[in-house]
Amino acid sequence: MFNASAEYYDLIYAAFKDYAAEVAQVTTMLRRVNPHCRTVLDVGCGTGEHARRLAAEGFAVDGIDIEPAFVEIASRKHPSGRFVVADMSDFHMPERYDALLCLFSSIGYLRTLDRVTRALACFREHLAPGGVALVEPWLTPGVLDPAKRFTHTGEAQGVSVSRHSRVEIEGTLSRLLFDYEIEDHGEIREISEVHELGLFTTEEMMRAFREAGLDAEHDPEGLTGRGLFIARSA
């Protein structure tokens, strides 16, 4: 996961991820499908950037993430929300929510369809009557190109980070290899991470939603071109 790079996550993604546009789309969608939507659970909340911005739009937002450093950062960004360290395939929050979000392909980190189905069942259990779940999938099989290389950089307040990435494919598993070059107030160091995400077809994901007791629609474009599933309790 992002255990090695958590403190630099926002610096890297601020350079190319348009959180404002995504939150505007999510806000419009939630208010359209559930005009009374107020409470939101962000599953795989990361550093809480979506949560912070959604709260500014008037939603009451809580979050869970498996990475403790992310939960700490999210709690600082949005102190009125409740952020908990938890596995999205097996979590238990005391509330039920008008909407549940699982964005930026976080669902792919579950790696197998069995775990995806278990997670979706948890999502269903945490939806209030009339609630909706928005799930942004990882890329489908055949899309990733192992020959490609990417570099993303970010710089602010005496810290500069470059992340070089490539991908390996092994069956239904994609393996993202991240190598970081970090200059932090004159100190230079290098770190590496390996991220594994499952590759699932749209049909496999739709079947997982059905098995979890959710009726889902699929928007092939979604927020970022990766598609989006919009689901309600069956």
110 shares a domain with 49: yes
131 shares a domain with 74: yes
The CATH number that applies at residue 62 is 3.40.50.150
The CATH number that applies at residue 156 is 2.20.130.10
User: Is pLDDT above 80 for 229?
Assistant: yes
110 shares a domain with 36: yes
User: Total domain count for the chain?
Assistant: 2
Beta-carbon count within 10 A of 58 CB: 10
131 shares a domain with 174: no
User: Is pLDDT above 90 for 183?
Assistant: yes
Residue in the block written with tokens 């991470």: 193
Quick one: pLDDT band at residue 215, thresholds 50, 70, 90? very high
- Render pLDDT for 85-101 as a digit per residue (tens, 0 to 9): 999 999 999 999 999 99
- Answer whether 0.95 is exceeded by the pTM: yes
Quick one: pLDDT band at residue 125, thresholds 50, 70, 90? very high
Q: Return left, alpha or beta for 43; rule: phi > 0 is left, psi -120 to 50 is alpha, else beta.
A: beta
Q: Is residue 85 in a domain?
A: yes
98 shares a domain with 161: no
* Structural domain span for residue 171: 150-198
Q: Is residue 154 in a domain?
A: yes
105 shares a domain with 157: no
Q: How much is the pLDDT for 2?
A: 84
Instruction: Give percent of the chain above pLDDT 90.
Output: 96
Q: How much is the pLDDT for 234?
A: 87
